[in-house]
Structure 1
Amino acid sequence: MRIIVYGSLRRGQGNSHWMTNAQWLGEYRIAGYELYDLGHYPAVIKGEGEIDCEVYRIDSSILAELDELKNDTRDYKRELVQTPYGSAWMYLYLHSVEGLTRIDSGDWVHRKHDE
């Protein structure tokens, strides 16, 4: 199975250690989504933009760990999306993004350059 990550799980980011045992497949810019800044990590919702992501091959134990990480906040749901590497799971934000800063570039890693 595969997962698509767009924020703190990406290489070089604060939670990238969660992906240590995953196989990196490549980068991908996915259309139809918007990226918002929640502070230490981002929120993604369906929308008009594009976001920069990384796609990984994972096993069920990694998916279970990520589900636990995301479900601790009760802020995300997992949805299957299509990528050039095959279908992949992606976490979408469940709450309103009203009042949050949108990262227009769609790139969490380089978000400071948007300001």
Structure 2
Amino acid sequence: MKVIVYGSLRRKQGNSRWMTAAQLLGKYDLEGYEMYNLCYYPAVIPGKGLIHCEVYRIDSATLTELDELKNSPEAYRRKLLKTPFGRAWIYLYCLNVVGLPRIRSGDWLKRNEEVGQIVKKDVPP
């Protein structure tokens, strides 16, 4: 089975240790989704954007661990999507994102760059 990761589970991110038994299949840009900043990790919902992801081959034990990591059934749900690497699970956020900062680039790794740009735009000359 496969999983799509887009935030703290990506390589060199805070929760990447959960993916140590996984095999990276490749990068993937997923259209039709938007990313929001929840501070330590992102929320992804269906929308009009694009998100930068990694697709991994995982075993059932890793999927069980990821389900436990996303242990709040009211906050996340798993959905099976087509990718160039075959069908893969993605964790989608189910709670309201109103008021959360959107990561317009769709790239969790660039979230701090966007914050800097927003702050610069909001500062009067």
2:33 alignment partner AA: Y
Q: How many residues align?
A: 115
Aligned to 1:10: 10
Aligned to 1:24: 24
2:78 alignment partner AA: R
Aligned to 1:103: 103
Percentage of identical aligned residues: 62
Provide, for residues 31-62 of structure 1, a one-character-per-residue CA deviation record: whole Å limited to 9, x for no partner. Answer: 00000000100000000000000000001000
Aligned to 2:39: 39
Question: Retained in 1: the 8 A contact 2:74–2:95?
Answer: no
Provide structure 1 residue ranges, at least 5 long, that are not aligned to the other structure: none
Question: Under a length normalisation based on structure 1, what TM-score does the superposition of the two structures give?
Answer: 0.97
1:32 alignment partner AA: G
Point out the structure with the larger helix share. Answer: 2
Q: Greater Rg, structure 1 or structure 2?
A: 2
Looking at structure 2, the residues matched to 88 and 53 of structure 1 have their Cα atoms a distance apart, in angstroms, of 12
User: In the TM superposition, what is the alpha-carbon distance from 1:72 to its structure 2 partner?
Assistant: 4.1
Question: Under a length normalisation based on structure 2, what TM-score does the superposition of the two structures give?
Answer: 0.89
User: In the TM superposition, what is the alpha-carbon distance from 1:74 to its structure 2 partner?
Assistant: 4.0
